[in-house]
């Protein structure tokens, strides 16, 4: 008899981020400008059938909208209930229970649990800021899948394009699947969607939870070669994108020039502005290609200060009405505070709180 709970689940806990209400939430990188007006309109004017009938099995209308927007063929697109669902399906499609999932770490906190949920073995490889592991280091553990987040959550670092190409080259035509998580690629150089559509080994995963402002509706997608995508869809199963989510996502995707590029431009310029403000205060953030900044707060080098700095600062910011996210065990920088980029008045409010808390720390 298999023990219950099963052994692979022993290290797992329910996901429990701090979701207590707060006046200003800059903790989860969702869109602080709201959502696309056409997406909201689609939900508000949805017909009764959007609730009473099943959605299409594999979200065909959504795939067509993604194809129109990003210029990749429909056969190269898989969708899901958030990109977490696409990551989950891809892990499962790429390997058997017991196989290894290698990832450059620190990275997205869901990678380790998603691997374990599938009975697979997560293998982190150290990624200090500015010091990416080599393709050889990532491939040495003989993984079924290599996960790379670009731009990376929580550091914001963007692996150079040449590094990704060298990794694809090292993997070759029969190596492990490379999963590039491009949740934040809109805020940087747009990523590798086109290459993924024809690559035999690379899958790019995107979400509508961040730049599109649709986190509440849970829509994500993956792009890869048709034969790879087919396996991801088999692994995923039917009916994962509900009708309201699909209608809203299609409306937002079909507007290539309007609301979303405007938000992206603002995020980029406010990211530079906030980085300069923090640097002036003696707390420079890491360079970021995403809609957040990670501020190292745990000292550097051989002599880290006492642990707990990030948790203390985040608790202090919350007392001033601002939610951020603490990180510990970060290779090279020990601890950090991650803050999402919002409109200017929100960042000014964050800086006011930061000054209070950091003043009190000294």
The 29-48 contact track toward ligand PLP, x by CB under 6 A, reads x-------------------
Work out whether 207 is an interface residue with ligand PLP (CB under 6 A).
Answer: yes
182 to 193, 254, 262, 329: CA distances (angstroms) = 9, 20, 19, 23
Give SS3 for 245.
helix
For ligand PLP, the binding residues in 285-314 under the rule CB under 6 A are: none
Question: Which residue, 310 or 357, is less far from ligand PLP as judged by CB?
Answer: 310
According to CB under 6 A, which one of 39, 146, 167, 183 is a site residue for ligand PLP? 183
C-beta nearest to ligand PLP: residue: 82
Question: Which residue, 182 or 346, is less far from ligand PLP as judged by CB?
Answer: 182
Backbone angles phi, psi at 238, to 5 degrees: -85, 165
- CA 105 to CA 128: how far, in whole Å? 8
From edge to edge, which strands make up the β-sheet containing 145-149? 77-81, 219-223, 202-207, 177-181, 145-149, 100-105, 121-126
According to CB under 6 A, which one of 55, 82, 296, 336 is a site residue for ligand PLP? 82
Question: Which residue, 84 or 99, is less far from ligand PLP as judged by CB?
Answer: 84
Pick from 140, 139, 105: nearest CA to 124: 105
- CA 150 to CA 45: how far, in whole Å? 36
Question: Which residue, 180 or 314, is less far from ligand PLP as judged by CB?
Answer: 180
The 113-152 contact track toward ligand PLP, x by CB under 6 A, reads ------------------------------------x---
CB of 282 to ligand PLP, least distance (A): 28
Give SS3 for 222.
strand
Q: Mind spelling out the 3-state secondary structure of 60-103? A: HHHHHHHHHHHCCCHHHEEEEEHHHHHHHHHHHHHCCCCCEEEE
For ligand PLP, the binding residues in 217-246 under the rule CB under 6 A are: 220
Are 322 and 22 in contact by the 8 Å Cβ rule? The answer is yes
Give SS3 for 341.
coil
CB of 291 to ligand PLP, least distance (A): 10
According to CB under 6 A, which one of 157, 181, 188, 233 is a site residue for ligand PLP? 181
CB of 305 to ligand PLP, least distance (A): 28
List interacting residues with ligand PLP (CB under 6 A): 29, 82-84, 108, 149, 153, 181, 183, 207, 209-210, 215, 220
């Amino acid at each position: 008899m298999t023990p219950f709970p099963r052994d692979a689940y022993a290290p797992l806990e329910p996901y429990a981020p701090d979701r207590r209400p707060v006046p200003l939430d800059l903790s989860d990188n969702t869109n602080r400008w709201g959502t696309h007006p056409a997406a909201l309109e689609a939900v508000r004017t949805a017909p009764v059938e959007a609730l009473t009938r099943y959605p299409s099995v594999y979200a065909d209308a959504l795939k067509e909208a993604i194809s129109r927007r990003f210029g990749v063929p429909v056969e190269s697109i898989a969708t899901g209930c958030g990109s977490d669902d696409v990551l989950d399906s891809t892990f499962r499609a790429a390997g058997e229970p017991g196989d290894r999932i290698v990832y450059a770490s620190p990275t997205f906190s869901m990678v380790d649990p998603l691997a374990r949920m599938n009975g697979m073995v997560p293998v982190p490889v150290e990624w200090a800021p500015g010091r990416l592991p080599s393709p050889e280091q990532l491939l040495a553990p003989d993984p079924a899948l290599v996960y790379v987040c670009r731009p990376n959550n929580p550091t914001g670092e963007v692996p150079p394009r040449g590094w990704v190409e060298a990794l694809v080259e090292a993997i070759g035509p029969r190596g492990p699947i490379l999963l590039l998580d491009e949740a934040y690629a809109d805020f940087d150089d747009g990523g590798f969607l086109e290459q993924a559509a024809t690559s035999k080994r690379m899958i790019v995963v995107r979400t509508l939870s961040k730049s599109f402002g649709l986190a509440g509706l849970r829509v994500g997608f993956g792009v890869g070669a048709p034969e790879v995508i087919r396996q991801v869809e088999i692994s995923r199963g039917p009916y994962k994108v509900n009708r309201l989510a699909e209608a809203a996502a299609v409306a937002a995707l079909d507007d290539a020039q309007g609301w979303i590029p405007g938000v992206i431009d603002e995020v980029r310029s406010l990211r530079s502005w906030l980085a300069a403000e923090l640097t002036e205060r003696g707390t420079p953030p890491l360079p970021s290609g995403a809609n957040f900044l990670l501020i190292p707060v745990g000292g550097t080098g051989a002599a880290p200060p006492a642990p707990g700095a990030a948790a203390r600062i985040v608790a202090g910011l919350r007392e001033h009405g601002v939610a951020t996210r603490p990180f510990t065990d970060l290779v090279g920088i020990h601890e950090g505070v991650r803050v999402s980029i919002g409109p200017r008045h929100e960042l000014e409010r964050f800086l006011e709180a930061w000054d209070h808390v950091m003043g009190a720390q000294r």
